[in-house]
Amino acid sequence: MPDLIRASVDLAAQPDEVYAYVIDPATGPMVSHAREVVDVTQDQGRVAAFKTKRGTVRYVTQAPPHYLEGEYLQKQLRARYDIRFEAIGDSQTRVSIDVNIQPQGLRAKLQGPLPRFRVKGQLRDWLAQVQKHFNAKK
Protein backbone atom coordinates (compact mmCIF):
# COMPACT_ATOMS: atom_id res chain seq x y z
CA MET A 1 0.00 0.00 0.00
CA PRO A 2 1.43 3.43 -0.92
CA ASP A 3 2.53 5.79 1.82
CA LEU A 4 2.78 9.58 1.42
CA ILE A 5 5.23 11.87 3.20
CA ARG A 6 5.01 15.67 2.86
CA ALA A 7 7.61 18.24 3.79
CA SER A 8 8.42 21.83 2.96
CA VAL A 9 11.19 24.30 3.68
CA ASP A 10 11.71 28.02 3.03
CA LEU A 11 15.18 28.91 1.80
CA ALA A 12 16.95 32.25 1.33
CA ALA A 13 17.69 31.85 -2.40
CA GLN A 14 16.15 32.22 -5.85
CA PRO A 15 14.23 29.22 -7.29
CA ASP A 16 16.85 28.61 -10.01
CA GLU A 17 19.65 28.41 -7.40
CA VAL A 18 17.68 25.93 -5.30
CA TYR A 19 16.72 23.87 -8.37
CA ALA A 20 20.38 23.68 -9.45
CA TYR A 21 21.35 22.51 -5.96
CA VAL A 22 18.62 19.85 -5.81
CA ILE A 23 19.30 18.42 -9.29
CA ASP A 24 23.07 18.09 -8.75
CA PRO A 25 23.92 14.58 -7.45
CA ALA A 26 27.14 15.88 -5.87
CA THR A 27 25.28 18.23 -3.53
CA GLY A 28 21.57 17.76 -3.50
CA PRO A 29 20.17 14.24 -3.74
CA MET A 30 17.56 13.93 -1.06
CA VAL A 31 17.23 10.19 -1.59
CA SER A 32 20.80 9.31 -0.67
CA HIS A 33 23.99 10.89 0.57
CA ALA A 34 26.19 12.39 -2.16
CA ARG A 35 28.98 9.97 -1.23
CA GLU A 36 26.70 7.08 -2.27
CA VAL A 37 26.34 8.33 -5.87
CA VAL A 38 28.34 6.06 -8.17
CA ASP A 39 27.25 7.01 -11.72
CA VAL A 40 25.52 10.01 -13.34
CA THR A 41 23.64 10.03 -16.67
CA GLN A 42 23.18 13.36 -18.44
CA ASP A 43 20.80 14.35 -21.22
CA GLN A 44 21.55 17.59 -23.08
CA GLY A 45 23.70 18.92 -20.25
CA ARG A 46 21.07 18.21 -17.59
CA VAL A 47 21.19 15.35 -15.06
CA ALA A 48 18.68 12.71 -16.17
CA ALA A 49 19.51 9.93 -13.70
CA PHE A 50 22.08 8.71 -11.23
CA LYS A 51 22.88 5.47 -9.49
CA THR A 52 23.49 5.01 -5.80
CA LYS A 53 24.72 2.02 -3.84
CA ARG A 54 21.09 1.04 -3.14
CA GLY A 55 19.28 1.86 -6.38
CA THR A 56 18.69 4.22 -9.29
CA VAL A 57 17.22 7.73 -9.30
CA ARG A 58 15.57 8.81 -12.54
CA TYR A 59 14.18 12.29 -13.13
CA VAL A 60 10.85 11.78 -14.88
CA THR A 61 9.80 15.42 -15.35
CA GLN A 62 11.98 18.48 -15.26
CA ALA A 63 10.49 21.97 -15.51
CA PRO A 64 13.24 24.22 -14.18
CA PRO A 65 13.13 26.09 -11.92
CA HIS A 66 9.59 25.32 -10.75
CA TYR A 67 9.03 21.56 -10.73
CA LEU A 68 10.98 18.31 -10.51
CA GLU A 69 9.60 14.78 -10.42
CA GLY A 70 11.89 11.87 -9.69
CA GLU A 71 11.65 8.16 -9.09
CA TYR A 72 13.98 6.21 -6.80
CA LEU A 73 14.02 2.50 -7.62
CA GLN A 74 15.51 0.17 -5.05
CA LYS A 75 15.48 -3.57 -4.68
CA GLN A 76 12.23 -3.70 -2.67
CA LEU A 77 10.98 -0.14 -2.82
CA ARG A 78 9.93 2.54 -5.29
CA ALA A 79 9.65 6.13 -4.12
CA ARG A 80 8.29 8.96 -6.27
CA TYR A 81 9.41 12.47 -5.42
CA ASP A 82 7.34 15.51 -6.48
CA ILE A 83 9.27 18.69 -5.72
CA ARG A 84 7.81 22.15 -6.26
CA PHE A 85 9.81 25.37 -6.06
CA GLU A 86 7.75 28.49 -5.29
CA ALA A 87 9.24 31.99 -5.23
CA ILE A 88 8.33 33.98 -2.12
CA GLY A 89 9.23 37.59 -2.76
CA ASP A 90 12.55 38.42 -4.40
CA SER A 91 14.94 36.31 -2.39
CA GLN A 92 13.14 33.31 -0.91
CA THR A 93 11.98 29.98 -2.25
CA ARG A 94 9.59 27.50 -0.70
CA VAL A 95 10.45 23.91 -1.56
CA SER A 96 7.50 21.52 -1.17
CA ILE A 97 8.23 17.81 -1.33
CA ASP A 98 5.78 14.92 -1.63
CA VAL A 99 7.24 11.42 -1.39
CA ASN A 100 5.04 8.49 -2.38
CA ILE A 101 6.55 5.25 -1.06
CA GLN A 102 5.48 2.05 -2.79
CA PRO A 103 6.82 -1.22 -1.37
CA GLN A 104 7.59 -3.76 -4.08
CA GLY A 105 7.05 -7.42 -3.28
CA LEU A 106 5.73 -9.29 -0.28
CA ARG A 107 8.88 -9.01 1.82
CA ALA A 108 8.89 -5.21 1.55
CA LYS A 109 5.21 -5.06 2.47
CA LEU A 110 5.86 -7.19 5.55
CA GLN A 111 8.52 -4.75 6.76
CA GLY A 112 5.70 -2.37 7.64
CA PRO A 113 6.85 1.10 8.67
CA LEU A 114 10.58 0.46 8.08
CA PRO A 115 10.72 1.91 4.51
CA ARG A 116 8.80 4.99 5.70
CA PHE A 117 11.19 5.40 8.62
CA ARG A 118 14.24 5.24 6.29
CA VAL A 119 12.79 7.72 3.79
CA LYS A 120 11.72 10.15 6.53
CA GLY A 121 15.18 9.98 8.09
CA GLN A 122 16.93 10.66 4.80
CA LEU A 123 14.51 13.49 3.98
CA ARG A 124 15.02 15.04 7.43
CA ASP A 125 18.82 14.90 6.96
CA TRP A 126 18.51 16.47 3.51
CA LEU A 127 16.26 19.29 4.79
CA ALA A 128 18.79 20.11 7.52
CA GLN A 129 21.61 20.05 4.93
CA VAL A 130 19.84 22.34 2.47
CA GLN A 131 18.77 24.80 5.19
CA LYS A 132 22.33 24.98 6.48
CA HIS A 133 23.70 25.48 2.94
CA PHE A 134 21.34 28.29 1.89
CA ASN A 135 21.05 30.05 5.24
CA ALA A 136 24.85 30.15 5.57
CA LYS A 137 25.02 32.07 2.25
CA LYS A 138 23.22 35.12 3.73
Domain count, the chain: 1
Helices (H), the chain: 15-23, 106-110, 114-136
Q: What is the pLDDT of residue 35?
A: 67
Q: What is the CATH number of the domain that holds 47?
A: 3.30.530.20
* Side-by-side strand order, sheet with 92-103: 3-11, 92-103, 77-88, 67-74, 55-63, 46-52, 37-43
Query: For the packed helices 15-23 and 114-136, what is the interaxial angle rounded to 10 degrees?
Result: 130
**Looking at residue 47, what is its pLDDT?**
87
Secondary structure (3-state) at 121: helix
Q: Which residues, listed in sequence order, are joined to residue 96 by a DSSP beta bridge?
A: 8, 84
Q: pLDDT tens digits for the chain (138 residues)? A: 458 899 999 999 999 999 988 888 877 667 666 667 888 888 888 888 888 888 888 999 889 899 999 898 887 788 899 999 999 988 899 999 999 988 777 666 666 677 778 888 888 888 888 888 888 665
Full residue range of the structural domain in which residue 28 is found = 3-136
